[in-house]
């Protein structure tokens, strides 16, 4: 299959709450990785592209292709395609990688997975076109709801397969972010790191880049890094009678000098027999939210 042959520009809304709009050019053709086998006769890839464009138009209009301002380009690549035929049903499984480039620099990337099991009354091409339509809907939702980083002069783009380094402990936004019990007895600063690494690295399918903790000044690390801060923890006592417990955190994903993505999270619980059990519940739920965000990081995310 040939790589991108042409580009159709569409205007995508980016984080409507911020009232920001950006144009993204979506490739009108789909490439294949060497590991994937194209289904040449089906042309199912066209349903993916048309679905992405049509779903984008629900919130925006087609951009002026004669515009002189270069906008980010969204390319699509099939990295996995499996068709497993059974006696009565056939399972279709595919992975499509969406990459957003600007002036040749990678701003964002995400792998989309779609699975479908259909009766053999439907032809392979019909089924794959349905899978392509589903891909298009997911791609349009991602691009329309994601605020991508701006890649300026000192920016080299992102390196999604490079290890993400995180400090051995989460940082504190202020000296009062944690009380002594939560900090020392419950060991939240280190527990959060270990739970996050487990939540991220053990995901299925595995992430493209692993998280690795290092006992360093994470804010000064020059490579790809995740800077985490505890903003506030309220976890006094245990049992329901002690009232709700909550934790607020914030984080920044950096790639060299480029700020790639940011988040603010809030988790709460009413359980926990002791303070530390409540804290463990909060760190576990927060770690899972951050791991999900790392799968598709964006600026200004609310978790």
Asked whether residue 211 is assigned to any structural domain, the reply reads yes
Between these two residues, 237 and 156, which has the higher pLDDT value? Answer: 156
* Domain harbouring 196, CATH code: 3.30.160
Site of tokens 């009565």: 88
State residue 69's pLDDT score: 53
Please indicate, yes or no, whether residues 130 and 189 belong to a single structural domain of this protein: no
Asked whether residue 150 is assigned to any structural domain, the reply reads no
CB of 270 closer than 8 Å to CB of 168: no
Among the ranges 3-7, 15-19, 229-233, 260-264, which has the highest mean pLDDT value?
A: 260-264
Please indicate, yes or no, whether residues 169 and 134 belong to a single structural domain of this protein: no
Between these two residues, 8 and 301, which has the higher pLDDT value? Answer: 301
Please indicate, yes or no, whether residues 116 and 183 belong to a single structural domain of this protein: no
pLDDT above 70: percentage of residues in the chain: 84
Please indicate, yes or no, whether residues 85 and 128 belong to a single structural domain of this protein: yes
Asked whether residue 111 is assigned to any structural domain, the reply reads yes
Please indicate, yes or no, whether residues 121 and 191 belong to a single structural domain of this protein: no
pLDDT, tens digit, 9 for 90 and up, residues 79-92:
988 888 888 888 88
Asked whether residue 159 is assigned to any structural domain, the reply reads no
d(CA 286, CA 24): 32
* Domain harbouring 136, CATH code: 3.40.50
Position 238 confidence tier, pLDDT thresholds 50, 70, 90: low
Between these two residues, 242 and 257, which has the higher pLDDT value? Answer: 257
Please indicate, yes or no, whether residues 58 and 118 belong to a single structural domain of this protein: yes
CB of 90 closer than 8 Å to CB of 127: yes
Asked whether residue 34 is assigned to any structural domain, the reply reads yes
State residue 42's pLDDT score: 82
Please indicate, yes or no, whether residues 29 and 80 belong to a single structural domain of this protein: yes
- Those residues whose C-beta lies under 8 Å from the C-beta of residue 174, and which sit 6 or more positions away, are none
Q: Which of 145, 175, 208 is the last residue of a domain?
A: 145
Q: What domain range includes position 60?
A: 7-145
| Length of the chain as a residue count | 303
State residue 257's pLDDT score: 87
Coil/strand/helix, residue 47: helix
d(CA 171, CA 195): 15
Asked whether residue 156 is assigned to any structural domain, the reply reads no
pLDDT exceeds 80 at position 192: yes
Please indicate, yes or no, whether residues 138 and 189 belong to a single structural domain of this protein: no
This prediction has a pTM of 0.78
pLDDT exceeds 60 at position 193: yes
Position 63 confidence tier, pLDDT thresholds 50, 70, 90: very low
State residue 126's pLDDT score: 84
State residue 262's pLDDT score: 95
Distances (CA, A) of 197 to 43, 191, 200: 40, 10, 5
pLDDT, tens digit, 9 for 90 and up, residues 100-116:
988 888 999 999 988 88
Q: Which of 85, 110, 145 is the last residue of a domain?
A: 145
C-beta neighbour count of 4 within 10 angstroms? 14
d(CA 26, CA 163): 29
Q: What is the total count of domains within the chain?
A: 2
Please indicate, yes or no, whether residues 34 and 129 belong to a single structural domain of this protein: yes
Please indicate, yes or no, whether residues 21 and 127 belong to a single structural domain of this protein: yes
Asked whether residue 153 is assigned to any structural domain, the reply reads no
Coil/strand/helix, residue 161: coil
What DSSP designation does 184 have? Answer: I
Please indicate, yes or no, whether residues 177 and 141 belong to a single structural domain of this protein: no
State residue 227's pLDDT score: 96
State residue 271's pLDDT score: 62
pLDDT exceeds 60 at position 187: yes
Between these two residues, 118 and 9, which has the higher pLDDT value? Answer: 118
Q: In this structure, what token pair is assigned to residue 13? A: 């809304």
Q: Which of 145, 174, 189 is the last residue of a domain?
A: 145
Query: Over the chain, what is the mean pLDDT?
Result: 80
d(CA 168, CA 190): 6
Q: In this structure, what token pair is assigned to residue 205? A: 């399918």
Average pLDDT over residues 211-216: 95
Among the ranges 7-21, 47-61, 219-233, which has the highest mean pLDDT value?
A: 219-233
Average pLDDT over residues 267-296: 84
By C-alpha distance, which of 286, 212, 197, 196 is closest to 250? 286
pLDDT exceeds 80 at position 142: yes
Burial 262-279 (b: 16+ CB within 10 A, else e): bbebebebeebeebbbbb
Asked whether residue 152 is assigned to any structural domain, the reply reads no
Average pLDDT over residues 55-66: 48
d(CA 202, CA 76): 26
Q: In this structure, what token pair is assigned to residue 246? A: 């909550």
> Is residue 6 left, alpha or beta, with left meaning phi > 0 and alpha meaning psi from -120 to 50?
beta
Minimum mean pLDDT range among 8-12, 128-132, 167-171, 231-235:
8-12
Taking each helix axis from N to C terminus, what angle separates 188-201 and 275-295, rounded to the nearest 10 degrees?
A: 40
pLDDT above 90: percentage of residues in the chain: 30
Please indicate, yes or no, whether residues 100 and 17 belong to a single structural domain of this protein: yes
């Amino acid at each position: 299959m040939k790589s991108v042959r042409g580009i159709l520009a569409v205007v995508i809304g980016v984080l409507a709450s911020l009232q920001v709009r950006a144009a993204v050019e979506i490739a009108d053709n789909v490439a294949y990785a060497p590991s994937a086998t194209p289904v040449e006769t089906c042309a199912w890839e066209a349903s993916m592209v048309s679905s992405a464009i049509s779903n984008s138009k629900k919130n925006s209009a087609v951009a002026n292709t004669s515009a002189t301002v270069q906008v980010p380009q969204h390319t699509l690549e099939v990295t996995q395609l499996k068709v497993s035929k059974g006696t009565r049903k056939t399972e279709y499984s595919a992975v499509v990688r969406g990459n957003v480039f600007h002036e040749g620099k990678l701003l964002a990337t995400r792998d989309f997975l779609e699975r479908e099991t259909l009766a053999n009354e439907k032809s392979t091409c019909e089924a794959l076109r349905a899978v392509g339509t589903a891909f298009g809907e997911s791609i349009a939702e991602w691009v329309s709801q994601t605020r991508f980083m701006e890649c300026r002069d000192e920016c080299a783009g992102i390196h999604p397969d490079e290890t993400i380094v995180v400090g051995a402990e989460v940082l504190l936004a202020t000296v009062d972010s944690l009380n002594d019990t939560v900090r020392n007895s419950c060991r939240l600063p280190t527990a959060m790191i270990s739970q996050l690494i487990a939540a991220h690295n053990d995901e299925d399918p595995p992430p493209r880049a692993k998280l690795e903790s290092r006992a360093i000044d994470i804010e000064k690390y020059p490579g790809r890094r995740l800077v985490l801060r505890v903003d506030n923890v309220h976890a006094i006592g245990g049992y329901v009678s002690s009232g709700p417990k909550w934790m607020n955190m914030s984080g920044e994903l950096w790639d060299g000098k480029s700020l790639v993505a940011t988040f603010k999270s809030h988790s709460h619980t009413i359980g926990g027999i002791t303070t530390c059990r409540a804290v463990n519940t909060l760190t576990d739920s927060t770690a899972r939210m951050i791991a999900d965000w790392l799968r598709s990081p964006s600026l200004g995310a609310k978790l």
